[in-house]
Amino acid sequence: MGRTAEAVIIGGGVTGLSTAFQLAGRGLRRVVVLERKFLAAGGTGHSVGIVRQLYPTRETTEMVLRSLAVFQDFRERVGGEAGYVPCGVLIGVSPAMRPTLEKALALQKTLGVQAEILDPEDLPRLEPRIDPSGLGAILHEPASGYGDPASVAAGYAEGARRRGVTIEQGVEVVAIHRSGDRVTGVLTASGEGIDAPVVVNAAGLWSPRVARLAGVELPIVIGRHPVFAIERDPAFGPAHAVYLDLAGGSYVRPETGSLTLTGSLTDDETEHPMDPDLLGAEAGFDEASEALARTARAIPRLADSRLSRGYAGAFDITPDWMPILDESPVRGFYVAAGMSGHGFKLAPAVGEMMAALITGSPGPVSLAPFRLDRFASSSRAGTFVSSYLG
Ligand SMILES: Cc1cc2nc3c(=O)[nH]c(=O)nc-3n(C[C@H](O)[C@H](O)[C@H](O)COP(=O)(O)OP(=O)(O)OC[C@H]3O[C@@H](n4cnc5c(N)ncnc54)[C@H](O)[C@@H]3O)c2cc1C
């Protein structure tokens, strides 16, 4: 007889590990996480880890507030280190985007978000090195910043193990068994089967592939998102805050040493579909020049930086750039995927929400906007920028 589990989670990134931690916290005894490589080998280990709070809806705001509280107090709530650096986040918008920003923030303030909108003339007081031309407003989120995604994954893994979860690395799921419209377990590459009434697809960039093993199609595109590490010139001075330039299409976040991680916010990932197995490959020179030119327009003094490295990242993108957190049409086969480039900052809340869904208990945030069937009933479309402003 093969092994049995109460739940099998496919994928050892932040989503799967946070879900495992929460499922065990809700009393599930035999939870098994299967990771085909090593923990955080996927999007999690290649993430930039920015935690901004600006979101356009009640549910996403509630999720990011819950998650931020976990990052701020990770040792107590989960164990281990989140590497959270509350350096502050500045978000620049064009004059045309300003009314939408004001509307989004008004809603967010009623939910507890602490942030303020500044006029471009106020920018020098906070960060004189950002070029304010072309901006209509800047949002300042003082408590936001960035965390260390691999460390957060490790913390959730340790916390889950303490709660009795089994985590197996180097174990690939190659088939998902079902009986009629119900999932019954998985088969691994070594030929071992695990019977389970619950299987969670938390395979990130590989989630469409994993879903197909159960006969489920997910509306997810894997889109390329290269990241560049640049070494700031010594004359640049102290490290900058995280800056997300929605008007000019770039972002920067400080990294240890005198490095800055940077990339584009140009909403073109879906035009560059990528084989997820190419994650981490070296980025091309043309991509680098284009992205760094945008970075230098946002913060001209970064123009003198030296390119240290560039690599291919990728996002698992749904049509509205919001996650799918739902049971699939195959009963017992759940999907926590399609994080669309913002799954790190939401992972603590996603774990809680998935655990509530799977155990049939009340969750902290409504799952209604994240249902899989939302795409069948309407032609919902979005962009990365719409995940900020709606
Ligand atoms: C370059 C980049 C920058 C980002 N920046 C940010 C940011 O600033 N802020 C933010 O909030 N988010 C950001 N994100 C997004 C965020 O990091 C991801 O959404 C999140 O880490 C995804 O975690 P996950 O657990 O869902 O997926 P993953 O981390 O991809 O984990 C899925 C795992 O499943 C495993 N797997 C796949 N197939 C199988 C199988 N058949 N059997 C067993 N295991 C399998 C994979 O090996 C992988 O480890 C960024 C992502 C990238 C790539």
Domains and CATH numbers, the chain: 3-48+150-220+320-389 (3.50.50.60), 86-144+221-315 (3.30.9.10)
Please give the number of the atom of ligand 1 that sits closest to the Cα of 227.
1
> Residue for token digits 């650096």?
85
pLDDT value at 308 more than 90: yes
Per-residue pLDDT tens digits for 63-107: 999 999 999 999 999 999 999 999 999 999 999 999 999 999 999
Structure tokens at 363: 């969750």
Atom 48 (ligand 1): residue with closest C-alpha? 42
Task: Tell me: pLDDT of 1 over 70.
Answer: no
Ligand 1 atom nearest to CA at 337: 26
Taking only Cα atoms into account, the Rg of the chain, rounded to an integer number of angstroms, comes to: 21
| Half-sphere CA count of 68, side-chain side, radius 13 A | 22
Our answer on whether the CB atom of 6 is closer than 6 Å to any ligand 1 atom is no
Distance, CA 87 to ligand 1 centroid (Å)? 24
Pocket test for ligand 1, best of 17, 47, 260, 317 (most atoms within 8 A of CB): 47
> What spacing in Å lies between the alpha carbon of 289 and ligand 1's midpoint?
26
pLDDT cut 90: percent of the chain above it:
94
Ligand 1 center to 119 CA (angstroms): 36
Residue 71 in contact with ligand 1 by CB distance below 6 A: no
Whether 341 lines ligand 1, by a CB cut-off of 6 Å, is yes
Residue-wise pLDDT tens digits, 311-340: 999 999 999 999 999 999 999 999 999 999
Candidate from 167, 324, 339 with most ligand 1 atoms within 8 A of CB, to mutate? 339
Choose among 12, 381, 63, 52: nearest CA to 200: 12
Per-residue confidence band for 381, with pLDDT thresholds at 50, 70 and 90: confident
How far, in Å, from the CA of 13 to the mean position of ligand 1?
Answer: 6
- Reported as type and span, the H/E element at residue 289 is helix 285-298
- Report residue 198 CA to chain centroid gap: 23
**Which of 18, 33, 36 has the most ligand 1 atoms within 8 A of CB, as the residue to mutate?**
36
Q: d(Cα 227, Cα 210) in Å, to the nearest integer? A: 26
Residue 309: pLDDT band by 50, 70, 90 thresholds? very high
Q: What is the pLDDT of residue 382?
A: 84
Residues recorded for the chain: 390
Contact 327, 357 (CB under 8 A): yes
Give CA–CA dist 331/246, Å, rounded.
Answer: 40
Q: Which residues contact 373 (CB under 8 A, 6 or more apart)?
A: 326
pLDDT at 387: 87
- Does residue 224 line the site of ligand 1, with CB under 6 A? no
For ligand 1, what atom is nearest to the CA of residue 17? 25
Whether pLDDT at 380 is above 80: no
* Closest CA relative to residue 255, chosen from 153, 148, 152, 138: 148
What's the gap in Å between 345 CA and the centre of ligand 1? 12
What's residue 353's pLDDT?
Answer: 98
Q: Which of 68, 33, 25 is nearest to 159 (CA)?
A: 25
